Amino acid sequence: MTSVTRRFLWAPLLAGGLALGLVSTAAQAADKVNVGVLNAAGDIGLFIAQERGYFKAEGLDVTLSLLDSAVKMVPLLGTGDLDVGGGATSASLYNAADRQIDVRVVASRARTAPGFLYQGLLVRKELVDSGRYKTYADLKGLKFGFAAPGSTPLSSLNEVLKKGGLKFADVNVTYLNFGAQVAALQSGAIDATVLIEPYLSQVVKQGSAVLITPTEAYYPGAEVSVLLYGDKFIKQRPDVAKRFMKAFLRGVRDFDDAIDAGKWKQGPVADGVIAIFARNANMPEATIRAMTPQYGDPDGIVNVESLRTDLAFFKETGDVISKVITADMLVDLSFTKAAAKELGPYKPKN
């Protein structure tokens, strides 16, 4: 057999091998998932899953895109430009559902729990020192700062006002982003607020405000931040959505391993998690170490009763007009349940 003949005989085999290689590569191509983040504490499970390769292990190519509010994520989730998002539930989420923009609450990202002082009521220190503020009833007439209308911290404030025999109309509210609230407490432009970490620790350390009480004390199990799936992601790529949840919960469980009784542990496990958060949120590690972490449910289970309370408040204030929309209509826990079943019961690492 001549060398020319051998080349012709091998050519189809080589071509077939290349073709098989291309098919194999295509079959193994990672599924792309677009995720909106806020660079907030609730994103920690996503950051860990990304850095430690948990998404990659599930065959996912995840892109984390920074947005400045969960409110802006809702329409993008509705169109499919985002597959996944997260943050505080808001009136806009329920109003979107009323307009047939389908977005679902699929997992918890951050909530309060006994010992977890992640969110709390703060009053300007001058008002506490002077005796202007002594009890919840003294919240009457104070000027509060909040990030946005129709947001869940407003519902949290409503719950503590009830404890003082007050109504929401008994206080004044202005809207400022979290950083501006920190400055406004220092300058006296606002009197009080309900803040999450790391801002809570910052104002207490600065001495401009006093932590009156954590949210957990007057609103147990408040669902501060949730994970959202767009309807197209759920219906068109359910297997991808399930694998994404599995990777996300692995990240949350790593975060839980770094926490003990609502505080950061000492040692390499916590150090690793704090370093990941610092890199992704662009915060000093010392700032993160000083904050009180949120509770991250290892199975992603959402406190739906908290969502019901918030929605009832939004309807009372007129931020949600629909009478037919319910919190339960927006919750789909099938992905967390399936992922948690595959992962098995959470076993904390020592």
Q: What are the residue ranges spanned by the domains of the chain? A: 31-112+222-343, 119-218
Answer whether residue 236 shows pLDDT above 50: yes
- The residue among 39 and 211 whose pLDDT is bigger is 211
Answer whether residue 193 shows pLDDT above 70: yes
Contact status, residue 274 vs residue 265, Cβ threshold 8 Å: no
Give Cα 131 distance to the centre of its chain.
36
Q: What is the pLDDT of residue 13?
A: 41
Q: What is the pLDDT of residue 9?
A: 40
**Which of the residue ranges 14-23, 64-73, 141-150, 318-327 would you say has the lowest mean pLDDT?**
14-23
- The residue among 70 and 154 whose pLDDT is bigger is 154
What would be the CATH architecture of the domain defined by 119-218? 3-Layer(aba) Sandwich (3.40)
pLDDT band for 28, please (50, 70, 90 cuts).
low
- Please report where in the chains the tokens 């932590």 appear, as a residue: 211
Q: What is the pLDDT of residue 197?
A: 86
Can the peptide bond before residue 198 be classed as cis, meaning omega within 30 degrees of 0?
yes
CA–CA dist 294, 115 (Å, integer): 10
Answer whether residue 302 shows pLDDT above 70: yes
Residue 59 CB-density burial (10 A; 0-12 exposed, 13-18 middle, 19+ buried): middle
Q: What is the pLDDT of residue 12?
A: 47
Answer whether residue 99 shows pLDDT above 50: yes
Domain 31-112+222-343 is found in CATH 3.20.19.10:
no
- For the chain, give the mean pLDDT: 90
Q: What is the pLDDT of residue 17?
A: 52
User: Are 31-112+222-343 and 119-218 equal in CATH topology?
Assistant: yes
CA–CA dist 337, 265 (Å, integer): 28
- The arithmetic mean of pLDDT across residues 10-38, rounded, is 63
The count of residues in the chain is: 350
Which pair of tokens denotes residue 70? 């969960």
Q: What is the pLDDT of residues 250-285, one digit of tens each?
A: 999 999 999 998 899 999 999 999 999 999 989 899
Q: Distances in Å between the alpha carbon of 265 and those of 114, 201, 221, 307? A: 17, 17, 22, 30
**Which of the residue ranges 12-16, 321-325, 331-335 would you say has the lowest mean pLDDT?**
12-16
pLDDT band for 181, please (50, 70, 90 cuts).
very high
Which pair of tokens denotes residue 171? 């206080």
pLDDT-above-90 percentage for the chain: 75
Answer whether residue 178 shows pLDDT above 90: no
In three state form, how does the secondary structure of 69-97 look?
Answer: CCCCHHHHHHHCCCCEEEECCEHHHHHHH
CA–CA dist 79, 64 (Å, integer): 17
Q: What is the pLDDT of residue 21?
A: 54
pLDDT-above-70 percentage for the chain: 92
pLDDT band for 14, please (50, 70, 90 cuts).
very low
Residue type, 90: S
Q: What is the pLDDT of residues 204-223, one digit of tens each?
A: 999 999 999 999 999 999 99
- The residue among 12 and 308 whose pLDDT is bigger is 308
